[in-house]
Amino acid sequence: MKIIAKLCLSLVLIASISLISLAKNNTTNIKGKVVNIASNEPVSFASVAIEGTSIGAVTNFEGEFEILNVPAGHCHIIASCVGFRSDKKHFDVKLGQANTLTFKINEDFIGLDQVVVTADRNQVSRKDAPVVVNSIGTKLLENTAASTMADGLIFSPGLRVENDCNNCGFSQVRMNGLEGPYTQILINSRPIFSGLAGVYGLEHIPPSMIQRIEVVRGGGSALFGGNAIAGTINVITKDPVSNSFKVGAKYSSVGTGVSASEKPAGDIMVDFNASIVSDDNKSGIFLFGMKRNKDAWDANKDGFSDIVELKNLSAGFNAFHRLSDLSKLNLEYHVVDEFRRGGDQLDLPAHMSLIAEQVKHNINSGSITLDQFFSKERISKLSLYASAQHIDRASYYGAATLKDENGIDLPKPIFDNSAYGATKDLAISAGVQFFSHSDNLLFAPADITLGFENVYNKLKDKKLAYNDYKKDIIVPTTIIANQNSNTIGAYAQSKWDLGFASFLLGARMDSYKIKNTVDNSEINNTVISPRANMLFKLDDAMQLRLSYARGFRAPQIFDEDLHIEASAARRVIHKLSENLKAESSNSYTVSYDVDKSFGKVQTYFLAEGFYTDLNDSFVNEYSTNDEDGNLVAYRKNSKGAIVKGINLEFKIAPSYKLDFQMGMTLQSSKYKEKVEQGDLTEIITDKMLRTPNHYGYFAMNWKPLHEFTTTLSGSYSGSMDLIHFGVEKDINGVATGDQLVKSGEFMDVGINFAYHFDLGGDVKLEFDLGMKNIFNSFQDDFDKGAYRDASWVYGPLNPRTIYFGIKLGNLL
């Protein structure tokens, strides 16, 4: 009996403790479901969270969720999912009763309810952002079979991606007509995309790590520092939101059917990603990786590549841990190992070829961020962050000598073993940002943002030691560039919300110091960049925005300067002229956009005018060859340039089965005075080269069946002026001059078919089949031979390409 009595007493005590604990916790659970209004189908992997807390859950394959340990009382619960409009419900959580909820959410085909961060460095609805933010999402990247970030950037007004060298495949993005270095590229809002990374960096970022790409056109230096004169491209990496996985493989045949005598090039890509999140949603990690092997392709069968050989391996992770309901720690890391080679005789060592450009990159990048809120209302937040990127690059840019000083053919080529180089680059960014909301600041509710950051970059580029057999000596290692730059920046802004309108005023101060030990040059300066934005909500559907921003670009060694171009068998190096001043800009934009739903039909229209006044813009002045035989391009200041135009965008989604979008840019890019553009002969023009006056894109998705999707997409590029280097030759075939040439127009159209099978549970198997550049709208006049102009490249990035892909996962 005593044993039974003790057992009963123990049970009573356990029950009492449990009841006391339950009363103390005063919590219960909420169950529910999230469904798609249009199709009445469950929405998988939707996030359901208690506003102002870290309490939440993710729906399963059936759209069901259960939120654990929810405190009793009144709360706001938000259901959100990528590609859908979020829904918020007011709910009274009661103990001892069934707490159930059903969310019915609409698909957001045109992304108006999407939350963006690039507008003012804080999370804000795209519709309420003080500037126009274009977003390129995962769906568009996958539906258009983008192999890299570069492939997806064309699907935004004002953006155009070009290839500038058929020896190495150097590509860059132009925004509103301005070349690559005028655009600030960020990863998760951090400026670690260094100058050296910009040469080939657009192809280093695999789509499997991208959640979306946010594009802000116009000067944004008031927030993001220098080099944002044209605008900002912010790569937002994927966050772990649910337990999911995806693996895929794709084979592409590049140049299919272009020439009966030329074999297509193979391009094989394998990628994966996986996400793991804890049951309490406090910790998670997202893993990704990509392996790509791409063969070189010779367009005119002259033995020299026009598309380079490429081998790329990318991998990394993005992880978070919630230290409490009010604090969150993020950690991100990724590594890139890439080899690329162009020229002739690719199976031989680079110095045994007539011409070769070979680059091997090892890039390590990472960041850590701590976000801390100070109250459950989350009206104030402090963010501490640090990020870094290290690049180790081995390169060869060289060409064999085929003629003597009199232009007579040599008995055999003299190969160049002096063109091997090594480059190391380190970029570090660290800072702190404070955000706070005030119910009344001077005259209205306001959001205040204050920040301080330091950006450091160290770049060292050298030519390695080699044997000079003609002089029978060993030539020691030569330092080409040894540059240190440090920028200390501070910024402040306030955004007032009047309901029918909002106003943003801000400014940033940057103090930079740039030192190059090669020529003992040193540049110091302090720049203040103001910013002003006004958003007028004409009604629920129409917005009018006015913007002004001042920007700058410091006089330093940029990415393209370290891409030594073996053009017409000549090497070109870049140096800074004495007394070179920073570029500055005044950027003005005005935009009108309207989003209107007609029943179930969603529509969006944007018209955005831009005007950028560049002062002291950089231009190159070519000198005679130096003692090493290199052509030297000295960077100097011109009077400036004017870039102006209009971006147009239209989207329509009649239903979840069909959506269409297109964009067009009409613009003019001219220097204020004519400047020298050639080298061997003087070509003087006031036009910015490689800048068409009109270009655009379109994309249409059609889903006739639940399992089947067809995507038709394309890009258009108008004619443009560019220089054909060394096109004029003497009787011995030696280059004597250059020509200013106007290119033709190009229309690159592609199609993709995707069909998936439901394998049970939440796992799907998808097959993709498609063709890019269906009509082979591709350059057909590449130069031939070792004396070709490697920069004589224009038009679409690839010829006609057929591909086949397969994917397996629960998040397709």
Could you read off the pLDDT of 677-730 as tens digits, one per residue?
Answer: 765 567 888 888 899 999 999 999 999 998 999 999 999 999 999 888 776 665
Q: Please give the pLDDT value at position 566.
A: 41
H or E segment to which residue 19 belongs: helix 2-25
What whole-number distance in Å separates Cα of residue 703 and Cα of residue 810? 19
Number of H helices, E strands in the chain: 4, 48
What whole-number distance in Å separates Cα of residue 126 and Cα of residue 130? 9
Q: Please give the pLDDT value at position 749.
A: 97
Q: Is the pLDDT of residue 327 over 60?
A: yes
The amino acid at residue 151 is D
H or E segment to which residue 5 belongs: helix 2-25
The amino acid at residue 72 is A
What whole-number distance in Å separates Cα of residue 57 and Cα of residue 766? 27
Q: Is the pLDDT of residue 609 over 90?
A: yes
User: Quick one: what percent of the chain has pLDDT higher than 90?
Assistant: 37
Q: Which residue has the higher pLDDT, 19 or 696?
A: 696
Looking at residue 374, the DSSP 8-state letter turns out to be S
Dig out the tokens for 610 from the structure. 């831009």
Collapse the DSSP code of 140 into the 3-class scheme (helix H, G, I; strand E, B; otherwise coil) and give the result.
Answer: helix
Q: Is the pLDDT of residue 236 over 90?
A: no
- Mean pLDDT calculated for residue range 468-472: 68
The amino acid at residue 698 is F
- Mean pLDDT calculated for residue range 138-163: 90
Dig out the tokens for 194 from the structure. 């260094």
Q: Please give the pLDDT value at position 679.
A: 57
Dig out the tokens for 224 from the structure. 């993001």
What whole-number distance in Å separates Cα of residue 380 and Cα of residue 101? 30
Nearest-5° angle of CA 791, CA 339, CA 416? 60
Q: By mean pLDDT, which of 199-203, 466-470, 602-606, 700-704 is the weakest?
A: 466-470
Q: Please give the pLDDT value at position 628.
A: 61
pLDDT band at 735 (very low <50, low <70, confident <90, very high): low
- Mean pLDDT calculated for residue range 166-192: 83
- Mean pLDDT calculated for residue range 283-292: 94
Whole-number average pLDDT of the chain: 84
| DSSP string computed for 44-72 | TT-EEEETTSS-EEE--TTSEEEEEEEES
H or E segment to which residue 100 belongs: strand 100-105
Question: Mind listing the pLDDT tens digit for each residue in 352-374?
Answer: 999 888 999 999 999 999 999 98
- Mean pLDDT calculated for residue range 98-119: 77
Check: CB of residue 256 under 8 Å from CB of residue 541: no
**Which segment, 201-205, 537-541, 736-740, is predicted with the most confidence on average?**
537-541
Q: Classify strands 47-50 and 73-80 as parallel, antiparallel or unpaired.
A: antiparallel
Residues 6+ apart with CB under 8 A from 16: none
Question: One fold for both 2-105 and 115-417+424-809?
Answer: no
Q: Which residues pair with 334 in a beta bridge?
A: 316, 365
Domain boundaries, the chain: 2-105, 115-417+424-809
Rounded to two decimals, the pTM is 0.87
Give the neighbor-by-neighbor strand order of the sheet with 134-137: 134-137, 210-217, 231-237, 183-187
Question: Mind listing the pLDDT tens digit for each residue in 764-796?
Answer: 999 999 999 999 999 988 988 877 888 889 999
What whole-number distance in Å separates Cα of residue 242 and Cα of residue 245? 9
Q: By mean pLDDT, which of 458-462, 476-480, 779-783 is the weakest?
A: 476-480
Q: Is the pLDDT of residue 755 over 50?
A: yes
SS3 content of the chain, % helix, strand, coil (to 5): 5, 60, 35
What whole-number distance in Å separates Cα of residue 450 and Cα of residue 467? 56
Cα-flanking dihedrals φ and ψ of residue 792, to 5°? -80, 70
Dig out the tokens for 314 from the structure. 């990318």
Question: Mind listing the pLDDT tens digit for each residue in 535-561?
Answer: 999 988 899 999 999 888 877 665 555
Q: By mean pLDDT, which of 172-186, 536-550, 594-608, 795-809 is the weakest?
A: 172-186
Cα-flanking dihedrals φ and ψ of residue 583, to 5°? -75, 150
What whole-number distance in Å separates Cα of residue 293 and Cα of residue 746? 27
**Which segment, 81-95, 394-408, 578-592, 765-779, is predicted with the most confidence on average?**
765-779
Check: CB of residue 74 under 8 Å from CB of residue 57: no
Fold of the 2-105 domain: Immunoglobulin-like (2.60.40)
| DSSP string computed for 410-425 | EEEEE---S-EEEEEE
pLDDT band at 572 (very low <50, low <70, confident <90, very high): low
Question: Which CATH number applies to 115-417+424-809: 3.30.70.380, 3.60.15.10, 2.40.170.20, 3.40.50.300?
Answer: 2.40.170.20
Q: By mean pLDDT, which of 42-51, 175-184, 461-470 is the weakest?
A: 461-470
Q: Please give the pLDDT value at position 469.
A: 66
Q: Please give the pLDDT value at position 324.
A: 87
